[in-house]
Structure 1
């Protein structure tokens, strides 16, 4: 019996090695497969620990090989020829790089920009092929959305639009949820959620015609509760849920929906010192006197360190995001969710599966070191001393 168990163990390990090797070899063209490899490892580890019979092991082995083969066969990339895509927020950052990347792959790119006379729009016209068309597209402006739709529809005509990539977004001034002005909550929702929804609704008839792809750029912060991002994270969480519901509804039409939840990448979304000055002034101007006393101006001003961290510690290499978006619009069977960026998938898993009390403890230990406290918490008796 011991020999049989040993043979089973080696058999399962051999199957795992073959499957894992296949998965890892395909990883560069098939984002998300590493997660699959982890699941397979867990499955076969469980099989070995349960000490199932060789017959059951053979059945599980055959079933797993079939599932992996079926999945990998769906990772074949469709050709880019004659496929048109719309990218919003193309002035700078990921959207700007994405337009160049997709243009080089052979897609016809409609680059929606906030300022068609700006430097970002000019660079796209100068460096990309004649297939790329820059569109004035403020996604909070219904008239500009309607005008962009007309130009795209005229260009693509009967072929339809293959993909819409809702990339445009804003961060705002990160601070405690109590301190963020309502105007900033509304602004984040207007751009990150309502703007993406309105663009989606406007262009869906073209996507249904082509049975194409809808790709929405959410964020890791839309699934992980990070401090100081109440406005931004709430809007991205709303976009993620909107996308998940449309994924189910639009599947009947042959349209596939994917959500990109990137981690920390260095873009212009964090703004600059002038932007921070304006947002901080707006925050202080609308803050009740009692709340401002409890938190203190020094605490509010210290929140800039979070913005500095975004600009200095985030990755400048957008390639993981670009590859995932390429997969989402090109793979025969794309994934529903992508999590590009170092540690991004792990954080999403921790936030999804751990009990809240454990997740809060871990995140506080990892991210809360050296965190400045509001004045009333750092010196609880300061009001009494002042009187």
Structure 2
């Protein structure tokens, strides 16, 4: 009797567990397919629907024909087979395609130049410092397909010179892709503390430089019916404390990209935005640069503003660069993968947002109540307990 009772209990437990396991396998297949759809790596249509419908319809057949775990194994195998046979979006061939990348001294640009070179692209890597460590590393490590070029995107002469060089090298082939990556942050501080030259420099490099280079190279891009890929930032769609100059320039580049997407569609040119978040690229600078930034801020501030904010608060703003740099991820591969998809996918997405922060912060900005968003922003990007001296004095009087 005891043995019979144990067996009945085990059978009942199995009867409860098996439906959950069947559901888990089906959910896993659905989640994997949804991820591919969101990344536009699947060809939607009847073939996709049929290949998903068949394994799902096989669930009752498997459970009846082979009761218990053998049926579950058969159903899992059917789902795995269906997944392996999904109609994946075609990636275009790499051979014969040339890409121009700006800002290859470090960060995304430097890593991307190496990555695309390994994939077989012809790469024109623009650098600010032709004899700098980043440029020298590319010359040593890359293949003969990669050419390092002096390219300051704020210099009309260098942009024009680069165009003539690239055009001559391509020999009427057309340019397949432009990756506008060059960018500067300069300093993280309240907008009132930032001198106007920082606002101007961010706009010149992050926006106007990309615009001028794009306009000059568009004839070659149209000839190849290629891709324009602009590297923006989550700061361009989410108001981050201390990033006023940088955010404004990236927001401008976002809108420029969105308008060009429609204007260039008739020419067969596709435009994609890469909107990364929280990656360690060197844009936050180093200790020497932070000290220099502090001195510049103090130099340009009026006596009244310097007094109202105070030395302690201004120093805390500069310290944020080190904090953000330390918290950023140094694994850039997810960004490189998205850029390569924007360049190679038959139907690239309008927007790629690599990194958790690139999704989370814009989401709460658009969809949660303003008071909650403000609390999150002040908690993440505020100065903590440190406040401007003027605010402390008013608080003490109250």
TM-score, length-scaled by structure 2: 0.79
The equivalent residue for 1:197 is 211
Q: Which has the larger radius of gyration?
A: 2
CA distance in 2 between counterparts of 1:352 and 1:179 reads 28
CA distance in 2 between counterparts of 1:261 and 1:241 reads 13
Offset of residue 331 of structure 1:
0.3
Q: 1:75 aligns with which of 62, 66, 89?
A: 89
The equivalent residue for 2:75 is none
CA distance in 2 between counterparts of 1:15 and 1:381 reads 59
The equivalent residue for 1:230 is 244
SS in 1 for 2:110: helix
CA distance in 2 between counterparts of 1:269 and 1:14 reads 43
Q: Deviations over 1:113-145 (max 9, x none)?
A: 001111111111110100000110000000000
Question: What is the 5 A alignment of 1:327-342?
Answer: 327-342=341-356
RMSD: 2.5
Q: 1:21 aligns with which of 23, 28, 32?
A: 32
CA distance in 2 between counterparts of 1:336 and 1:292 reads 44
The equivalent residue for 2:312 is 298
Q: Deviations over 1:141-195 (max 9, x none)?
A: 0000000000100111221000000000000111001111111100100100101
Structure 2's unaligned 5+ residue stretches are 1-22, 45-82
The equivalent residue for 1:184 is 198
Q: Deviations over 1:185-214 (max 9, x none)?
A: 001001001011111111111100001000
TM-score, length-scaled by structure 1: 0.81
The equivalent residue for 1:106 is 120
Offset of residue 378 of structure 1:
2.4
Q: Deviations over 1:246-288 (max 9, x none)?
A: 0111111110001111001111111122222222222211111
CA distance in 2 between counterparts of 1:176 and 1:81 reads 48
Verify the 8 A CA contact 2:101 2:125 in the aligned structure 1. yes
Shift of the 121–285 alpha-carbon distance from structure 1 to 2, 3 Å rule, reads: same
Offset of residue 15 of structure 1:
8.0
CA distance in 1 between counterparts of 2:229 and 2:389 reads 43
Q: Deviations over 1:227-262 (max 9, x none)?
A: 000000110011001101101111111100011110
CA distance in 2 between counterparts of 1:98 and 1:250 reads 24
CA distance in 1 between counterparts of 2:385 and 2:176 reads 46
Verify the 8 A CA contact 1:74 1:332 in the aligned structure 2. no
Verify the 8 A CA contact 2:228 2:269 in the aligned structure 1. yes
Verify the 8 A CA contact 1:31 1:327 in the aligned structure 2. no
The equivalent residue for 1:277 is 291
1:351 correspondence with 2:351: no
The equivalent residue for 2:54 is none
Offset of residue 354 of structure 1:
3.1
Offset of residue 369 of structure 1:
7.7
Verify the 8 A CA contact 1:175 1:228 in the aligned structure 2. yes
Offset of residue 312 of structure 1:
1.0
CA distance in 1 between counterparts of 2:159 and 2:153 reads 6
Offset of residue 73 of structure 1:
5.5
1:376 correspondence with 2:390: yes
1:138 correspondence with 2:149: no
Q: 2:234 aligns with which of 204, 209, 220?
A: 220
